[in-house]
Amino acid sequence: MTRGFNVGILGASGAVGREMIKILEERAFPVNQLKLFASEKSAGKELSFKGEKVKIIKSDKGAFSGLDIVLGAAGNDVAAEYAPHIKKAGAVFIDNSSAFRQKEGVPLVIPEINPNDALLHNGIISNPNCTTIITLVALSAIIKESEPESIIASSYQAASGAGAGGPVELFEETAAILNGKEYIPRVFSHQLAFNVIPMIGKEQFEGYTSEEMKMQNEGRKILHLPSLKVNCTCVRVPVYRSHSVSVTVRTKEKISVERAKELISKAPGCKLYDDTEKGLYPMPILSSDRDLVFVGRIRKDLTCLNGLTLWCCGDQIRKGAATNAVQIAELLK
């Protein structure tokens, strides 16, 4: 019989934190007690879990006593501040921020790909970046068949990937433009409505942004392939929810399109959605509010014998963040 866990959520009032509450309930995770932590601004508010109201507590260094697992849905600074206190309390910290992803000794885990790494933790397990999760889940069956040598990706990331203010700004900006009014962006660097912004994050390396470098650095760690070559371009698009990624993967051995489809159709966490004659291919509206990564438009790479190109979509708040964290917690049962 599975034992129950005392679970905390750090950053419970945000979009990912609220989704974590929802997913713990959906997946019937064995919660004995749920504690919700957030800033002083949200303290005292109540959120629903299994039909009962749970009051949000102000985050405090001594508040984690008695917890077994803490799911992190806060920013880097908050995660770094409270991680030592979570560990000291004897809880495992499953963190969605990027604060510990590249730290030695901290597993970076996608349960469909490297579940055993989670058991090597020293009190902290990191959740990868949402685009990394969606892309690697889509590729998981292919790269298990033959080791990848390179990945070239372009991501088309939804407004909600920028936080709760992203969709609000997109809606308000769209309404303003349609009504002939001026709108000054606050969340995004430029107008997003009726536009795309080909830069997410700050420039980090050779013209590539921090968001783009996450795909390379995180992919190498998750797949235990330190020499994996990755080239990524991240674009913000005027979509409410669910990221899309165009991916070309080149493997050591050639994999046919037919074999790739067969593998993906059986892969955990994936839904093969590929019938162009019937107009069936992944789109954000299909994958939103779902945990499956939709995969389609599977083609031969016309520039490389051992290459395949595909298109995938996944909900960055669920599988790209909250669901992946809860799945990691399930590995600790």
pLDDT digits (tens, 9 = 90+) for 48-74: 999 999 999 999 999 999 999 999 999
Beta-carbon contacts of 332 under 8 Å, excluding residues fewer than 6 positions away, are: 69, 92, 118, 119
Task: Specify the pLDDT at position 169.
Answer: 98
Task: Specify the pLDDT at position 1.
Answer: 44
The pTM assigned to this predicted structure is 0.96
Q: Say if residue 93 is in the same domain as residue 106.
A: yes
Q: Say if residue 225 is in the same domain as residue 312.
A: yes
Q: Say if residue 74 is in the same domain as residue 162.
A: no
Q: Say if residue 121 is in the same domain as residue 158.
A: no
Q: Is the pLDDT of residue 204 over 90?
A: yes
Task: Specify the pLDDT at position 170.
Answer: 98
Of the candidates 243, 270, 312, 313, the residue annotated as catalytic is 243
Q: Say if residue 248 is in the same domain as residue 113.
A: no
Q: Say if residue 264 is in the same domain as residue 144.
A: yes
- Which 8-state DSSP code applies to residue 187? S
Task: Specify the pLDDT at position 51.
Answer: 94
Q: Say if residue 251 is in the same domain as residue 305.
A: yes
Q: Are 39 and 102 spatial neighbours (Cβ–Cβ below 8 Å)?
A: no
Confidence of residue 3 (pLDDT cuts 50, 70, 90): confident
Which letter, b or e, does each residue of 68-84 get, where b requires 16 or more Cβ atoms within 10 Å of its Cβ? Answer: bbbbbbbbeebbeebbe
Q: Say if residue 44 is in the same domain as residue 190.
A: no
E strand or H helix that includes residue 243: strand 243-251
Task: Specify the pLDDT at position 264.
Answer: 98
CATH number at residue 28: 3.40.50.720
State how far the Cα of 192 lies from the Cα of 89, in Å rounded to an integer.
Answer: 44
Domain assignment of residue 115, given as a range: 5-128+321-331
% the chain with pLDDT above 90: 98
Q: Say if residue 92 is in the same domain as residue 160.
A: no
pLDDT (average), residues 154-169: 96
pLDDT (average), residues 163-179: 96
Domain count of the fold of the chain: 2
- Inter-helix orientation angle 257-265/130-145, to 10°: 120
Indicate the average pLDDT of the chain.
Answer: 97
Task: Specify the pLDDT at position 276.
Answer: 96
- Residue given tokens 């790739």 in the structure block: 260
Is 313 designated active site? no
Q: Are 99 and 38 spatial neighbours (Cβ–Cβ below 8 Å)?
A: no
Of the candidates 85, 130, 234, 270, the residue annotated as catalytic is 130
- Inter-helix orientation angle 210-223/130-145, to 10°: 40
Q: Is the pLDDT of residue 2 over 70?
A: no
Task: Specify the pLDDT at position 233.
Answer: 98
**What three-state secondary structure class fits 53?**
strand
pLDDT (average), residues 274-279: 97
Q: Are 185 and 192 spatial neighbours (Cβ–Cβ below 8 Å)?
A: yes
Q: Say if residue 55 is in the same domain as residue 186.
A: no
pLDDT (average), residues 259-274: 98
CATH number at residue 218: 3.30.360.10
Q: Say if residue 88 is in the same domain as residue 170.
A: no
Q: Say if residue 14 is in the same domain as residue 153.
A: no
